[in-house]
DNA sequence: TCTCCATGTAAACATATGTATAGACCATAG
DNA sequence: CTATGGTCTATACATATGTTTACATGGAGA
């Protein structure tokens, strides 16, 4: 990513601040006004360069169709909160979306990710408590021992996932609960995704 | 806040989704296109009503100047990540800001709040692990037993806070560590704020 | 039934906004 | 020095976009 000149940085900063304040991007003439320019051309030049360098994206011709690259200022680092784990399916249906929440620490890819509220105390050993939100990255397989959201029959739960040649084991992180062992022919288990993060509000 | 009709809700939802996807709001004609309308008037009517009911804000006449009310889609629900607890002060200096992160579950007031990275394992019993981010709401006092960020002399730590007539006790949630007891005349303790939430990325 | 209201069509219209052409100024690298 | 690129003025133009007037439809409730 090419280095920006001081001036270019000023333009980018202004666009960011404007979006922060208004929640939509500025028009070219508004930028022009902010920098006290007599022509829109200068602004256009800067925007074109910021786009060329990858700091901005835009839709040509459309009004205020600017997007600051770098996720922090993009809308789609929000993911839906789709329901409660172990609350039965379908957990991924659109109608189940309770809210849209942002993801702290803009992760590399939020695409497709979603939050799920945890019920039960089976993962306290992993510092995941009842009521916590887990951020789920959907994927069909997880690494040995990773914390996953899995579907068992009609229910979704959070467990530590182990796969062996002849069976799958789902371990709770709570001595109160025994591992769930699943062999061929048993009720079907499907991995929904990996738990990428945990969020908890206190009180 | 007046209840919305199903149709109005659809329009609001679409605007949200559009912003999520593009990071800037749709134009009236884009909304029109999405709902397969033959006229822009219907859209205008809906937007006017959504504005009247307080679900949207907008700048009249300006292109794409829509804002979904509820802050969730506004930029300013971000709070700074200012450093690491127990890493020494000053933790609130501007120069210490490492990043700006969003707060899931749009809390009532993010104003003044900030994230702090936890070092050490003294709060594992409260499911707060090394490396977690704690969201801190600055306040000079906390309730009995609440988890607080406190400054002891030159250092900031996360502890459970108890105040008695003659002393203050700071309890770890880890049997390895004894409570810190502080009486008048001892090193000064100052409450920086209450831990309002915890965020952890796995791996 | 009649009215009201949410919803929509149709067609202009006004203006907000992006784009283009032509050229100037200036610092800096070659 | 000379060329290049970054920055900007001036002006005009094209079009994307919001606004408005007039009227139609269909369901819910008085």
**Mean pLDDT along residues B48-67:** 89
- The least confident of A102-111, A163-172, B6-15, B57-66 is A102-111
Q: How far is the CA of B67 from the C1' of C4 (A)?
A: 31
Cβ contact B24–A21 (<8 Å): no
Query: Do both B108 and B159 map to the same domain?
Result: yes
Query: Do both A170 and A132 map to the same domain?
Result: yes
The chain B residue lying nearest A148, using CA atoms, is B202
The chain B residue lying nearest A98, using CA atoms, is B105
Q: How far is the CA of B50 from the C1' of C2 (A)?
A: 29
Most confident range, picked from A9-23, A145-159, B158-172: B158-172
Query: Residue A44 belongs to a domain with what CATH number?
Result: 1.10.10.10
Query: Do both B52 and B111 map to the same domain?
Result: no
Query: Do both A195 and A118 map to the same domain?
Result: yes
Task: State how beta strands A167-171 and A180-183 pair.
Answer: antiparallel
Torsion of CA A74, A76, A80, A85, to 10 degrees: -100
For A66-88, the pLDDT digits (tens) are: 988 764 433 445 556 655 554 33
Among this protein's residues, is A71 annotated catalytic? Answer: no
More confident residue, A116 or B30: B30
Query: Residue A180 belongs to a domain with what CATH number?
Result: 2.10.109.10
Minimum distance, in Å, between the CA of residue B15 and any CA atom of chain A? 12
Final residue of a structural domain among B19, B43, B68: B68
Query: Do both A29 and A59 map to the same domain?
Result: yes
Number of other residues whose CB lies within 10 A of the CB of residue A164: 10
Q: Over chain B, what is the mean pLDDT?
A: 80
- DSSP category for residue B93: -
Instruction: Say whether pLDDT at B64 is over 90.
Output: yes
**The total number of structural domains that make up chain B:** 2
Q: How far is the CA of B27 from the C1' of D13 (A)?
A: 22
Residues engaging strand C (CB under 7 angstroms):
A 27-30, 39-41, 44, 60-65; B 5-8, 35, 37-42, 45-46, 49, 61-63, 65
More confident residue, B164 or B112: B164
A50 CB-contact burial (10 Å; exposed 0-12 / middle 13-18 / buried 19+):
buried
Query: Do both A115 and A146 map to the same domain?
Result: yes
Query: Do both A175 and A104 map to the same domain?
Result: yes
Instruction: Say whether pLDDT at A147 is over 70.
Output: yes
Which residue bears the tokens 């397989």?
A: A141
Share of chain B above pLDDT 70, in %: 76
Cβ contact A64–B63 (<8 Å): yes
- The least confident of A96-105, A148-157, B92-101, B122-131 is B92-101
Query: Do both A99 and A48 map to the same domain?
Result: no
Q: Is the dihedral of CA A156, A162, A163, A169 positive or negative?
A: negative
Query: Do both A59 and A42 map to the same domain?
Result: yes
Residue A154 lies in a domain: yes
Nearest nucleotide to the CA of B63, by C1', is D17
**Mean pLDDT along residues B135-146:** 87
Q: How far apart are CA A199 and CA B201, in angstroms?
A: 9
Instruction: Say whether pLDDT at B203 is over 80.
Output: no
**Sequence-ordered list of residues with C-beta below 8 angstroms from that of B38, at least 6 positions apart, any chain:** none
Final residue of a structural domain among B21, B51, B68: B68
- The DSSP bridge partners found for residue A16 are none
Number of other residues whose CB lies within 10 A of the CB of residue B178: 8
Question: Which pLDDT value is given to residue A169?
Answer: 93
Q: How far apart are CA A97 and CA A114, in angstroms?
A: 9
Phi first, then psi: give them for residue B125, nearest 5 degrees: -65, -25
Final residue of a structural domain among A68, A94, A113: A68
Q: How far apart are CA B89 and CA A159, in angstroms?
A: 39
- The least confident of A75-84, A147-156, A162-171, B8-17 is A75-84
Most confident range, picked from A76-90, A166-180, B174-188: A166-180
Q: How far is the CA of B46 from the C1' of C1 (A)?
A: 30
Question: Which pLDDT value is given to residue A95?
Answer: 41
Query: Which one of B23, B55, B135, B161 would you mutate to disrupt binding with A, by most A Cβ within 10 Å of its Cβ?
Result: B23
Minimum distance, in Å, between the CA of residue A73 and any CA atom of chain B? 7
Query: Do both A132 and A168 map to the same domain?
Result: yes
For A33-65, the pLDDT digits (tens) are: 999 999 999 999 999 999 988 888 899 999 999
Domain that holds residue A89: 75-199
B24 closest CB neighbour out of A64, A107, A199: A64
Minimum distance, in Å, between the CA of residue A186 and any CA atom of chain B? 30
Residue B182 lies in a domain: yes
**Mean pLDDT along residues B167-193:** 87
Which residue bears the tokens 């508004």?
A: A30
For B102-137, the pLDDT digits (tens) are: 666 554 455 567 778 888 888 999 999 998 988 888
Residue A1 lies in a domain: no
Question: Which pLDDT value is given to residue B171?
Answer: 94
Query: Do both B128 and B153 map to the same domain?
Result: yes
């Amino acid at each position: 990513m090419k280095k920006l000149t001081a001036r270019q940085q000023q333009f980018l900063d202004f666009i960011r601040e404007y979006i922060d304040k208004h929640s939509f991007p500025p028009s070219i003439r508004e930028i022009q006004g902010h920098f006290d320019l007599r022509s829109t051309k200068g602004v256009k030049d800067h925007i074109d360069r910021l786009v060329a360098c990858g700091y901005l994206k835009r839709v040509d011709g459309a009004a205020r169709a600017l997007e600051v690259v770098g996720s922090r200022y993009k809308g789609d680092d929000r993911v839906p909160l789709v329901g409660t784990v172990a609350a039965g399916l379908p957990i991924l249906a659109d109608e189940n979306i309770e809210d849209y929440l942002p993801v702290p620490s803009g992760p590399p890819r939020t695409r497709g990710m979603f939050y799920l509220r945890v019920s039960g105390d089976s993962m306290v050993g992993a510092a995941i408590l009842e009521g916590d939100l887990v951020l789920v990255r959907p994927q069909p397989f997880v690494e040995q021992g990773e914390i996953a959201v899995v579907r068992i029959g009609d229910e979704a739960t959070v467990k530590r996932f182990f796969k062996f040649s002849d069976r799958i084991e789902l371990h709770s992180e709570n001595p109160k609960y025994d591992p769930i062992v699943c062999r061929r022919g048993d009720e079907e288990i499907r991995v929904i995704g990996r738990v990428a993060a945990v969020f908890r509000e206190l009180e």
